[in-house]
Amino acid sequence: MTEKPMKPIVRFAPSPTGKLHVGNVRTALMNFLFARAQGGQFILRIDDTDRGRSTQAYEAGLKEDLTWLGMVWDDSFNQSARFGLYDEAAQFLRQNGHIYPCYETAEELDRQRKILRTQGKPPIYNRAALGLSAAERAELESAGRQAHWRFKLSGKMVQWNDLVRGAQKVDTGSLSDPVLIRADGTYLYTLPSVVDDIKADITHVIRGEDHVTNSGAQIEIFEALAPFFGSASAPKFAHTPLLVGKDGKSLSKRLGSLSMDQLRERDIEPMAICSLLAKIGTSDPVEARSDMADLVDTFSFSKISRASARFDEAELTLVNSRLLHGLSFEDVKPRLAALSIGGGADFWLLIRSNLVVFDDVKVWWAVVDQALQGQIASEDAEFCALAADLLPEDLDADSWAKWTQTLKERSGRKGKSLFLPLRLALTGLARGPEMDMLIVLLGAERIKSRLRGKNA
């Protein structure tokens, strides 16, 4: 009997030091879709070890954003509650010679890097601290130097099969030994992340391709910590291409305008955001999906391109409008009721194809339900008055065609000069829903009043 494959456990690990934006939402989405497609678990890990910058407000905000987007997590924990575990892991690494104390200042390290660059060498740490004797370390500490702690890389080639990038290898001999603990005793990202991945049984780490090199070092840290946890192995990795703008340039300077709270203020649908972010940079077409299940069913790492994923705000707006155009009356009934908008299914089906964002529904409800004085140019006043006189009292779906045909015969007008003055007089707008059903919703009395230049 073959062993049943283990269901994946993935994690999204934002820092509550800012707002959730399209870049990290895409990472969250890849984790969420993979977990759901495989029947696994999606863990939310709050990386709040930086207590100076992390805030409860940002944490609450990112949880609200994920919930709004439809990415509900199966479990959640904060790194700030695990410092004791990190301390134990760090002590194990010290005792087993995997990390070592260093005393260089930031200025001294910067000077080292500049010298190496002028010599045409890679600017990696020279490991001078490994040659310090106990007496020399004591002398530095007595002079007020506090040690930061680096992980001693093996210098070997680390290899893995990346689920997006294929076979990968990192020569750890070309890297600086990473700092795991700062001089003030606080932890950088790497050690807590590895400890938590082991403790939470994370099977897959799905993140941006800017972490590829980090993975080489982290795999060695996984191996070093395996005895401390009894057994541990590095998770599988999937490094996805980063988002760029439609011009191919980095989005980093524009992410402030692409945060979830700002997109929500612009009335962008959460499923429009997910529909776009799930498919850009893949072999699948970008289409408006109204249900997260559709994205789950079509997710596959094999579809993700190695090229950068291009994010275009205009494309997001287009997906948003197409999503609205496909929603049924039952889909939006509660939202219409919340805005005190009536009209029923006839109203929604008539106006939905004219919406870019849902809030546009207010414009069309005002046209149908509220007093309005349409636009009537002086040269069209006589024509509009004639139209009012010729309007049938009982209106149905065929009335528009019959009415305009009669107007054409009586006025001699045709095409734009026939139809546009009627639309402007009845709606105040040059474009909009099909007039055959709109006049039914407006009713004969209101139409006649507007054609005669009155508020109605």
Residues 338 and 354 in one domain: yes
Residue 443 has pLDDT above 50, yes or no: yes
Report long-range pairs for 356-359 (Cβ below 8 Å, ≥24 apart): 356/317, 356/320, 356/321, 356/324, 357/266, 357/267, 357/268, 357/269, 357/320, 357/321, 357/324, 358/267, 358/269, 358/324, 358/332, 359/267
Q: What is the 3-state secondary structure (H, E, C) of 180-195?
A: EECCCCCECCHHHHHH
pLDDT in tens, 154-184: 999 999 999 999 999 999 999 999 999 999 9
Token pair of 264, please? 């929500």
Whether 45 maps to a domain, the answer reads: no
Band of the pLDDT at 231, cuts 50, 70, 90? confident
pLDDT higher than 70, residue 185 = yes
Query: Hey, is 377 helix, strand or coil?
Result: coil
Of 325, 359, 388, the last residue of a domain is: 325
> How high is the pLDDT of residue 1?
30
Q: Read off the pLDDT of residues 293-325 as tens digits, 9 standing for 90 and up.
A: 999 999 999 999 999 999 999 999 999 999 999
Residues 166 and 223 in one domain: yes
Indicate if 191 and 273 belong to the same structural domain: no
Q: How far apart are the first and last CA of the chain?
A: 77
Look at residues 222, 240, 258 and tell me which one is the last residue of a structural domain: 240
95 plus 228 within the same structural domain = yes
Of 217, 220, 175, 196, nearest in space to 89 by CA: 196
Query: Which band of pLDDT confidence, cut at 50, 70 and 90, is reported for residue 254?
Result: low
The reply to whether 19 falls in a domain is no
Please determine, for residue 256, whether its predicted confidence score (pLDDT) is greater than 70.
Answer: no
73 inside domain: no
Distance between CA atoms of residues 132 and 445, nearest Å: 95
pLDDT at 4 over 50: no
HSE-up (13 A, CA, CB side) for residue 173: 3
Q: Please indicate, yes or no, if residue 318 is contained in any of the structural domains.
A: yes
Same domain, 174 and 299: no
One domain for residues 125 and 177: yes
Q: What does each C-alpha distance from 306 to 66, 78, 163, 223, 349 come to in angstroms?
A: 26, 32, 11, 28, 41
**Whether 382 and 252 share a structural domain:** no
Q: Are residues 356 and 411 located together in one domain of the fold?
A: no
77 within some domain:
no
* CA atoms of 367 and 427, how far apart (whole Å): 6
CATH number at residue 277: 1.10.1160.10
The strand ranges marked E within 26-165 are: 41-46, 75-78, 99-102, 148-151, 157-162
The structure's pTM equals 0.92
The confidence band for 248, taking pLDDT boundaries of 50, 70 and 90, is: confident
CATH of the domain at 192: 3.40.50.620
What is the Cβ-side half-sphere exposure of residue 158, based on CA atoms within 13 angstroms?
Answer: 23
- CATH code: domain of residue 398: 1.10.10
pLDDT at residue 253, as a whole number: 55
Question: Is 3's pLDDT higher than 90?
Answer: no
Residue 70 maps to a domain: no
Per-residue pLDDT reduced to its tens digit, 343-361: 899 999 999 999 999 999 9
Domain boundary among 192, 223, 240: 240
Q: What percent of the chain has pLDDT over 70?
A: 98
Round the average pLDDT of the chain to a whole number and report it.
Answer: 94
Q: Residue 51: pLDDT above 60? A: yes
Q: Kindly state the average pLDDT of the residues 28-40.
A: 98
Domain membership flag for residue 226? yes
Helix axes 381-390, 444-451, angle to 10 degrees: 160
97 and 150 together in one domain: yes
Same domain, 164 and 290: no
Q: How far is CA 318 from the centre of its chain?
A: 16
Chain segment 410-433, per-residue pLDDT in tens? 999 999 999 999 999 999 999 999
Whole-angstrom distance, CA of residue 215 vs CA of residue 205? 10
**How many domains does the chain fold into?**
4
pLDDT attached to residue 433 = 96
Q: Do 90 and 215 fall into the same domain?
A: yes
Comparing C-alpha atoms, which of 147, 158, 151, 222 is closest to residue 185? Answer: 147
Q: Examine residue 269 and state whether it is found in any structural domain, yes or no.
A: yes
Looking at residues 16-41, what average pLDDT do you find?
96
State the residue range of the domain holding 356. Answer: 329-369
pLDDT value of position 9: 97
Min mean pLDDT across 242-246, 385-389, 401-405 is at 242-246
Cα distances from 280 to residues 10, 245, 284, 312, 315, in angstroms, run: 22, 11, 8, 10, 10
User: C-alpha angle with apex 181: 179 to 185, nearest 5 degrees?
Assistant: 150
What average pLDDT does the segment 98-125 reach?
Answer: 93
Q: Are residues 219 and 92 in the same domain?
A: yes
Mean pLDDT of 261-279: 96
Question: Where residue 269 falls among pLDDT bands split at 50, 70, 90?
Answer: very high
d(CA 342, CA 456) in angstroms, rounded, equals: 18
